[in-house]
Amino acid sequence: MLSFSQSDGISSTSMMDSSAIMWFRFRVPLRRPLTVGGQTLSFRECLVVRLMSDDGAAGWGEAAPLPGFHGWCTIEELIEHAHNAGKSFDASRLLVSPPSVRFAMSSAEAWLLHDSQTDTADVSREVKATLLINRDNHSLESLQQAMKYSCIKVKVGSDPVADATFVRELRDAIGPEPKLRADANRRWNLNQAIEFGQAVGNEMLEFLEEPCDNPDNFEVLRNETGLRIAADESVQDAGDSSAIERILDVSDYLVIKPTMIGSLDRCRELAQRAYSRGAGVVVSSAYETGVGMRGLLLLILSLKGTDPAPGLGTYNLIADDILESRLPIQGSSFDLQSALRHVNVDTASLERIA
């Protein structure tokens, strides 16, 4: 099997015959259009990889880059990268692959390893789910649904005062118990982020994710508002290890999206760096199907059981999964052991690429 273990996330000390590796293309519709990275998507068109073990077991992983985010490439470019990665498992080939390809390869290995283990008694634990609410398209139904969750994430990043007003109104509607997060996706400058933070107050939010367009301003924002800050895209786009260290030093939480980060080992390495600073780690999805989501669950399994609720709500936007049965992770919480039970990929929905 593969072994991914270097700090850059990819290291292959063993080889696998390329005939054991097969890539497939798929397209699944979304429940509603998604505007991201200047594009409006009505479907996800991505790749999955299948690794076959010597005993005939299959492990799967998903490469699903997202427009506008780190590692984005077209489906044609992704196919070329998949071909290159699939020829052999030497580090030089994998390191030049997009992070989504590295995530797919390591997820497939983790899938094989997990399904080969017979003792999963320690897997059982409840995982709290996060409900995603967009201020622009929320409804009374979504607010009623929010009351069932212990953690809610709100997309902000437009007018700071209007966003703060909505957050306060949402808090009044759901009461004091659920944790409330806000994500600005780096849409504000420092002054706008401060305006939002001062209008909301530092006790209303669990954290504010990627509040402004420059992570160098995180510390100023924390000092001015008392808000707890979560880093996401800033770490993805950081140029080197020292830049990541600087960002983590001024962040209270690290959001890990493996599709944009790379292999599971790379994600775990970043998580350990966050833990060493007392920061929380939030594993987050990026509109993957059930194959990619199972990779995220395997990552969650390998991290601290005391981490904050993961952000897996984008799975709900996938209308037709490529699994024969959807993962049971809908609702306000789910059992990790049940969600990780053996699942089958609907190979009839896939197109093998030559």
pLDDT string in tens for the chain (354-residue length): 333 333 444 444 344 555 589 999 999 999 999 999 899 999 999 999 999 998 999 999 999 999 999 999 999 999 999 988 776 555 556 667 899 999 999 999 999 999 988 665 555 688 988 988 877 766 656 677 777 888 999 999 999 999 999 999 889 888 888 999 999 999 999 999 999 999 999 899 999 999 999 999 999 999 999 999 999 999 999 978 999 999 999 999 999 999 999 999 999 999 999 999 999 999 999 999 999 999 999 999 999 878 899 999 999 999 999 999 999 987 888 998 889 987 899 999 999 996
Which one of the listed residues 128, 153, 257, 304 is annotated catalytic? 257
**Whether 276 and 324 share a structural domain:** yes
109 and 236, same structural domain? Answer: no
* Count of the separate structural domains present in the chain: 2
Instruction: Name which of 247, 243, 241 is nearest 229 in CA terms.
Output: 247
Tell me which of 128, 153, 155, 179 is the catalytic residue: 155
Indicate if 192 and 322 belong to the same structural domain.
yes
Cα–Cα distances in Å, from 25 out to 19, 85, 207, 347?
Answer: 17, 15, 37, 10
Q: Within a domain: residue 48?
A: yes
Beta-carbon contacts of 334 under 8 Å, excluding residues fewer than 6 positions away, are: 126, 127, 129, 328
> Does residue 4 lie in a domain region?
no
Distance CA 341, CA 328 (A): 10
Classify residue 260: in a domain, yes or no.
yes
Q: Which domain holds residue 31?
A: 18-120
Residues 160 and 259 in one domain: yes
Taken as a whole, the chain contains a residue count of 354
Residue 26 located in a structural domain: yes
Kindly report the CATH number assigned to the domain that includes residue 180: 3.20.20.120
Annotation marks residue 257 as catalytic: yes
Is 153 considered catalytic here?
no
Q: What is the pTM of this model?
A: 0.91
